[in-house]
Structure 1
Amino acid sequence: MVMNFLKYFFILLAVIERKVIANIFANLQPDDGDYRHLYPKVCLSMGIKKHGHILPYSIGMIENLRYPKDRMHISFFILDECDDFNAIKDAKIWSEKMAKIYSSTAVFEDRDNWMEASLQWGRKKTCDYLFIINEDNILMKNVINQLINLTFVAVSPLMNDPFGKHSNVNGLLDTFFVERKKVGSQQVYYFNLPIFINIKSMDSSYLTFDSENVRNFHQTDPTQIFAHSAYSMNIPLFVDNKNFYGYVLDSNFYSPKYHKQLIGYFLANLISEKGAISFPYSNILNPWYPPSSSFGFDMIYVINLKRRPERLQKMDLIMKLLGIKYQVFEAVDGKALTNEDLSDLRFMPEYEDPFAKRPMTLGEVGCFLSHYKIWEDMVKQNYQNVIIFEDDIKFVVNSTNVLNTVMEDLMKTQLEWDIIYLGRKKMTPQGDEFFVQGHRYLSTLAYSYWTLGYALSLNGAKKLIKAKPLENLLALDEFLPIMYDKHPNTQWSKHFNLRDLKGYAIYPVIVTPERYTHDTGYISDTEASTIITIQKSKNQTNFKSIDIADQQSNMHAPTTLAKNEL
């Protein structure tokens, strides 16, 4: 009883002190250049449970918050279940090195109730707001200002799992709210982390995470205790989804090994969509990467145009995050091809793009030659099997796990194969492909497009070169189906006598295009380039320029269906 009385007494004193100070300075105007009145003091506390490998990224997002650092206090609370000594070490290193940049930094260990300790710490620092998160929360840059503007005493921002499996409101709110089909602030009885509290509000003085501070409530879950204390004071609790506040990769749902992989997939996709600059690692803590692997292949190539360094920068980060060991192969730039270069080639006379109804473009020629040179390099180096990736791809979740499984099954069954599509657009109706017996992800192959990612055997490379495609040149997307004898155009197929390429596909696909034809930011160096016209009488090659905007508006109209066709 005495302890409870003292706690309430000191809380009351704090409220009175705040009111007195507010009255004293009520009529004072801020100095020129003083922005403190625009940015209330914020205390941010992070609980570290067990998965310290995410800290370089979740802390990196804290560093990127659009809020003055001298108006923020940062603390880390090491939870009892945390046995990751590297995580504890990283928290202390970061706290020490950033102490002069923020108003204050601290690391707390051995706290029985870390959320209550966070609340008391925030009050001690006389902060206006307290933001309690854990290491699984990846925050967006504007989250603090957005939550302040909501003007609630206590609110939890909706955080979604980037892969759609979980959120911080599981079991609390319906899927319409979670998927943002219903937008707004929803009142709830209780909520989970992250929690944003207006501790300058008089009502919030009685909020607590400690059951000893509430009467006749015998619960051990701090969030339930907090909810009861709010209910006792008629303080409504809200979950808000008006803004996109960030992601949650809840380590309670995943093993440490799989949690690490999911972080890699999440960040790789973020880089694919937003660029390498979006990579949210800390300036103090080194990012974590898995050991690199070739997944049983002799070589993994990544084709990149020299004038597209931004794509290579993105791919380099993506490959590091997924643990893929690779080598850059400089692409043949179609734009740089001369009349002399083209004179060494022979184009298939009756070829016409099935959708755009035009001859080949310089970009398509450059694409074909890039792949052809890799086939030649593979034979020269005597690589038994390789993977070829283009530099504008996106990896799906579990892609590297599936790739490992495919290789295990190939070794087990000793299946003969020449080419395996890792990502593709199927061009024929459903029902004409079947899973291969003894394989968990391998299917037979029908007429398909895309060369954004495929595996190739040495025998397959030799077959492709032996077909002499540079003497009957057509788009690579059309050539490969001819070679595994699944192309519907028999007129084109008759130019290649041996069509015995053993082709398969991984199902479902493990790589997709970074962007589809009608997505914002879509650029194709292959399709949107100069069209090649052949002057047959003199056997000369001439150019016809097509405006990129006009070209892209007409090309491959069905591509918008690609996402549903995979």
Structure 2
Amino acid sequence: MCRRFVLFCVILCFKYVALSEWKKPTVFIAILARNKAHTLPYFLTTLENLAYPKDRISLWIRSDHNSDKTVEILHKWIATVKDQYHMINTAFVEGEESYVDEHGPAHWTKERFNHVISLRESALNLARDLWADYFLALDCDVFLTNPQTLNILISKNYTIVAPMLKSEGLYSNFWHGMTDDYYYQRTDDYKPVLNREKVGCFNVPMVHSCVLVDLRKYVSDLLTYNPQQVPNFDGPVDDIITFAIAANRSGVSLNLCNDETFGYVMVPLEQDDKLIMDLDQLTNIKLEILSEEEPLVVSKLLESYISFPEKDTLGFDKIFMINLVRRPERRRRMNLCFDELGLHVSVVDAVDGR
């Protein structure tokens, strides 16, 4: 009887070891970068800090039409991490800074839409050809501050799933309503999800900026960014709208999860905005993050690409911050905010008898 018990325990131990040694699913991450030198140091650091085996991740990175150091930063980072990832597939086009008929870097011409559609479709098809388990479309103005994001999304077991990302005001990476002609529609259901008054995973008509697709499921073969691949397509020439329409017509739900704090996304520029406005947006989102959690970090490799405004007192003789001595954490966060805003502030210690 004793021998049988020992043998049973040995079998259980071997079974446990075998299960615990399963490899993680493979993930193909597609990244498009244009004029993102200001966000890339933060984006690449949060990407690198994801708690997921890098040898199970393939990176596909494309960049063109830049007027900043986007490509330089990508080259420097890739040279350092290339041996850690399973594969890094890149194509960078230098020289041309704008599209024909483009009014500015935030202007989406038909040529630009078609180019982005072609790139996204190529990435999705390559992920399929490489037999990747998952495809992650990830924008460079997304900061995944939760290192477990990828593990959590995979555990949801949806064909398409996105993490809800915080931002300024009422902006986020999902729609909770869509008009009959496939454009954004604000609904009463939006704010409760955005503000996490309702928590869980929700079927929504649109997700973007950070979207995970389970390529192991047969129905994922029907997903596309290309309008020409959608029967009787009647929507606009737009990559994310086409993807949403293709999913809807294939019976695939777009799921958004807000049960964890996953990260942040920047508000996109308006058509006539200058690139400098995106720097202001970055400052705004960094201040938003500072109000809720630890600041965005940057790897030492990319620190040289980060700059802060020269500090002044806004024309006043002095600016004071009165801070309770017993609240050093608040003081630390405020000083970080002053660094971002370029404010020279004198600190006055305060006590309240406690």
TM range (shorter): 0.7 to 0.9
Q: In the alignment, what sits opposite 2:150?
A: 144
Take 1:285 and 1:41, find their aligned partners in 2: how far apart are those partners?
Answer: 27
- The within-5 A match list for 1:451-466 is none
Report the alpha carbon displacement of residue 87 of structure 1 after superposing the two structures with TM.
1.2
2:127 is aligned, of 110, 122, 130, to 122
Residue 250 of structure 2 corresponds to residue 267 of structure 1: no
Report the alpha carbon displacement of residue 306 of structure 1 after superposing the two structures with TM.
11
Residues 177/299 of structure 1: CA separation in 2 closer, same or farther (3 Å cut): closer
Report the alpha carbon displacement of residue 46 of structure 1 after superposing the two structures with TM.
2.1
Residues 147/35 of structure 1: CA separation in 2 closer, same or farther (3 Å cut): same
Tell me, yes or no, if the aligned pair for 2:139 and 2:210 is still in contact at 8 Å: yes
Q: Which has the higher contact order (CA 8 A, sep 6+)?
A: 2
Report the alpha carbon displacement of residue 189 of structure 1 after superposing the two structures with TM.
3.5
Residue 251 of structure 2 corresponds to residue 245 of structure 1: no
Residues 109-151 of structure 1, C-alpha deviations (whole Å, 9 max, x = no match): 4655222122123223322111112111111222111111111
Residues 257/315 of structure 1: CA separation in 2 closer, same or farther (3 Å cut): same
1:182 is aligned, of 190, 193, 198, to 198
Tell me, yes or no, if the aligned pair for 2:29 and 2:136 is still in contact at 8 Å: yes
1:91 is aligned, of 61, 69, 74, to 74
Q: In the alignment, what sits opposite 1:425?
A: none
Residue 92 of structure 2 corresponds to residue 106 of structure 1: no
Tell me, yes or no, if the aligned pair for 1:58 and 1:280 is still in contact at 8 Å: no
Tell me, yes or no, if the aligned pair for 1:168 and 1:192 is still in contact at 8 Å: yes
Take 1:302 and 1:252, find their aligned partners in 2: how far apart are those partners?
Answer: 33
Residue 309 of structure 2 corresponds to residue 291 of structure 1: yes
Residues 183/527 of structure 1: CA separation in 2 closer, same or farther (3 Å cut): same
Tell me, yes or no, if the aligned pair for 2:309 and 2:340 is still in contact at 8 Å: no
- The within-5 A match list for 1:162-561 is 163-170=168-175, 172=177, 174-217=190-233, 219=235, 220-253=237-270, 255-268=274-287, 270-271=289-290, 273-275=292-294, 278-286=295-303, 287-294=305-312, 295-297=314-316, 317-324=336-343, 326=344, 388-390=346-348, 526-527=351-352, 551=354
Q: In the alignment, what sits opposite 1:444?
A: none
Q: What is the root-mean-square deviation of aligned Cα atoms in Å?
A: 3.4
Take 2:56 and 2:227, find their aligned partners in 1: how far apart are those partners?
Answer: 31
Take 2:77 and 2:35, find their aligned partners in 1: how far apart are those partners?
Answer: 17
Residues 512-534 of structure 1, C-alpha deviations (whole Å, 9 max, x = no match): xxxxxxxxxxxxx7235xxxxxx
Tell me, yes or no, if the aligned pair for 2:203 and 2:254 is still in contact at 8 Å: yes
Tell me, yes or no, if the aligned pair for 1:95 and 1:106 is still in contact at 8 Å: no
Q: Secondary structure of 2:161's match?
A: strand
Tell me, yes or no, if the aligned pair for 2:63 and 2:92 is still in contact at 8 Å: yes
Residues 273/191 of structure 1: CA separation in 2 closer, same or farther (3 Å cut): closer
After superposing the two structures, state which structure 1 stretch, 40-49 or 145-154, moved more: 40-49
Q: Which amino acid letter does the alignment assign opposite residue 231 of structure 2?
A: R
Take 2:165 and 2:17, find their aligned partners in 1: how far apart are those partners?
Answer: 38
Report the alpha carbon displacement of residue 268 of structure 1 after superposing the two structures with TM.
4.1
Residues 33/68 of structure 1: CA separation in 2 closer, same or farther (3 Å cut): farther
Tell me, yes or no, if the aligned pair for 1:155 and 1:195 is still in contact at 8 Å: yes
Q: Secondary structure of 2:126's match?
A: helix
Report the alpha carbon displacement of residue 289 of structure 1 after superposing the two structures with TM.
2.2
Q: In the alignment, what sits opposite 2:48?
A: 63
Q: Secondary structure of 1:292's match?
A: coil
Report the alpha carbon displacement of residue 257 of structure 1 after superposing the two structures with TM.
2.8
Residues 272/192 of structure 1: CA separation in 2 closer, same or farther (3 Å cut): closer
Report the alpha carbon displacement of residue 107 of structure 1 after superposing the two structures with TM.
2.6
Take 2:76 and 2:19, find their aligned partners in 1: how far apart are those partners?
Answer: 31
Q: Which amino acid letter does the alignment assign opposite residue 85 of structure 1?
A: D
Tell me, yes or no, if the aligned pair for 1:42 and 1:127 is still in contact at 8 Å: yes
**Under a length normalisation based on structure 2, what TM-score does the superposition of the two structures give?**
0.72
Take 1:238 and 1:306, find their aligned partners in 2: how far apart are those partners?
Answer: 46
The aligned length equals: 302
Residues 255/165 of structure 1: CA separation in 2 closer, same or farther (3 Å cut): farther
**Under a length normalisation based on structure 1, what TM-score does the superposition of the two structures give?**
0.47
Report the alpha carbon displacement of residue 66 of structure 1 after superposing the two structures with TM.
1.5
Take 1:165 and 1:252, find their aligned partners in 2: how far apart are those partners?
Answer: 15
Tell me, yes or no, if the aligned pair for 1:261 and 1:322 is still in contact at 8 Å: no
Residues 235-292 of structure 1, C-alpha deviations (whole Å, 9 max, x = no match): 22222222222111123246533432342343245346545xx432234322522331
Residues 289/37 of structure 1: CA separation in 2 closer, same or farther (3 Å cut): same
Residues 132/104 of structure 1: CA separation in 2 closer, same or farther (3 Å cut): same
